[in-house]
Structure 1
Amino acid sequence: METTVDSAEVAKFEAMAAEWWDPNGKFRPLHQMNPCRLDYITRQIAAEFGRDLKTDKPFAGLRILDIGCGGGLLSEPMARLGAEVVGADAAPRNIPVARIHAEQSGLTIDYRHTTAEDLAAAGERFDVVLNMEVVEHVADPLVYLTACHDLLKTGGLMLCSTLNRNAKSFAMAIVGAEWVMCWLPKGTHDWNKFITPDELYDLIRRAGLDPVDRKGMIFNPISWRWSLSDRDLSVNYVTASLRRD
């Protein structure tokens, strides 16, 4: 089975596995961004599947895949909202970390050391695929996104976030986050693998999905908070796509 896993990228995150749930550790940027990501994710899922977020367990009956789940920062909120969650990660050391934290949190989540391609080949299908901050780390984005398409049921929703490729993203995501602020270890990201919004939309369409929305995720250094933007996709951004067939 063809795989898009980049072993060097996996090794980077595996080395940081034990720190996933430390809000002041190497994954501090994700902890800071998580409320913004969850705001987008939950609203998109609720709108697409007609769910009321004010009710108890609004995602009950939905099967959600969290690709590149890491320690479970997105898988756990989805489980709390009632979804049946599968968390998949190519880095084997991430899985026991995620399993232990879910157990300590009283949550049932199916964590697996596997890839999108292997899940698709096994015939797994989901209502929602969460594909957050992964596509810039794979060896072949089109093959990877095609596997994401195959993992969705007809009418299924993929949410995909990544980093734009321009001078600003290099300054903020590489120089700022890795070199100056030391939020991430140097070399976490390869700017050459960043993807512009138009490039991502093209890849999504070629993978057989229909992109229907995109938003920027903006960090405010004054308030130290992230927010969504309809206009500014210059660094971090997130997209929503549907499988129509």
Structure 2
Amino acid sequence: MQTAQSTVDAGEIAKFEAMAAEWWDLNGKFKPLHMLNPCRLDYITSQIAGEFDRDLTSETPFKGLRILDIGCGGGLLSEPMARLGATVVGADAAAGNIPVAQVHAAQSGLEIDYRHTTAEDMAANGEQFDVVLNMEVVEHVASPPDYLRACHDLLKPGGLHICSTINRNPKSFMMAIVGAEHIMRWLPKGTHEWSKFITPDELFALIRDAGMEPVDRKGFVFNPIAWSWSLSDKDLSVNYVTASLKPA
């Protein structure tokens, strides 16, 4: 087995190790992700269906697709992908997340290949996927350019890469750090570092430099009145998501 140089940030991994057991607690430290998840899934499923010509009204529309969920945590995205028929690998650099994900998948009657590994090691060993889900991870790695190159290598030619992160501006500091961590206490203080946030234009440039072609980007917008998230074509000011393709 080959071992590639890792972009894992040990300090970032330690933060999520400490929260591992709470992944499936709807009111725990990952409450923001549970709230955001339906919106994330709407985007992910529509992008996959559009790219691979799949009918989302069918029982298992993603059958035959191999999907990698990088930074899978407790499996909040891996499980829906498996239910839709995909062959799913969930990878996480935080070892403590893997048994949590495995137990929950077993309780849910789902077969998911969960692994304690990194994107770089999987790429070095020649693994390839139709889809790479890279959600809320790039702002936690030590080297986004190297990490995104590994994501590129993990895609089959013509494969789809979906990447979400947080914009870097005064609003995102107030919403994602002051609001989410200090006022609402949705996340432990220090979960995010504002300096590691990436603007949409910066991310598009990094994706292109990694050898992929960006094809879409949208904002995830939180409505404090309706207490819900929605997709936006225009508002990418805080949370946002991108889709890109590896040339065939």
TM-score normalised per structure 1: 1.00
Partners in 2 of 1:219 and 1:14 — Cα distance?
A: 27
**What SS does the corresponding residue of 2:179 show, helix, strand or coil?**
helix
Picking from 67, 72, 75, the partner of 1:72 is 75
Pair 1:132-2:147 in alignment: no
Q: State the partner residue of 2:182.
A: 179
Pair 1:211-2:241 in alignment: no
Partners in 1 of 2:133 and 2:14 — Cα distance?
A: 21
Partners in 1 of 2:32 and 2:151 — Cα distance?
A: 25
Question: 1:135 deviation in Å?
Answer: 0.1
- Whichever residue aligns with residue 63 of structure 1, its letter is R
Q: State the partner residue of 1:89.
A: 92
- Whichever residue aligns with residue 81 of structure 1, its letter is L
Pair 1:16-2:19 in alignment: yes
Question: 1:112 deviation in Å?
Answer: 0.0
Q: State the partner residue of 1:34.
A: 37
**What SS does the corresponding residue of 1:66 show, helix, strand or coil?**
strand
Q: State the partner residue of 2:157.
A: 154
Partners in 2 of 1:53 and 1:178 — Cα distance?
A: 36
RMSD, matched Cα: 0.4
**What SS does the corresponding residue of 1:199 show, helix, strand or coil?**
helix
- Whichever residue aligns with residue 146 of structure 1, its letter is R
- The runs of 5 or more residues in structure 1 that have no matched partner are none
Pair 1:56-2:46 in alignment: no
- The runs of 5 or more residues in structure 2 that have no matched partner are none
TM-score normalised per structure 2: 0.98
Q: Give structure 1 regions of 4+ aligned residues with deviation exceeding 6 angstroms.
A: none
Q: State the partner residue of 1:98.
A: 101
**What SS does the corresponding residue of 2:177 show, helix, strand or coil?**
helix
Partners in 2 of 1:233 and 1:164 — Cα distance?
A: 7
Picking from 44, 66, 70, the partner of 2:47 is 44
Q: Deviations over 1:117-155 (max 9, x none)?
A: 000001000000000000000000000000000000000
Q: Deviations over 1:37-75 (max 9, x none)?
A: 000000000000000000010000000000000000000
Q: State the partner residue of 1:123.
A: 126
Q: Deviations over 1:76-104 (max 9, x none)?
A: 00000000000000000000000000000
Picking from 5, 18, 34, the partner of 1:2 is 5
**What SS does the corresponding residue of 2:165 show, helix, strand or coil?**
strand
- Identity, % of aligned pairs? 77
Partners in 1 of 2:5 and 2:28 — Cα distance?
A: 34
- Whichever residue aligns with residue 172 of structure 1, its letter is M
Partners in 1 of 2:47 and 2:219 — Cα distance?
A: 14
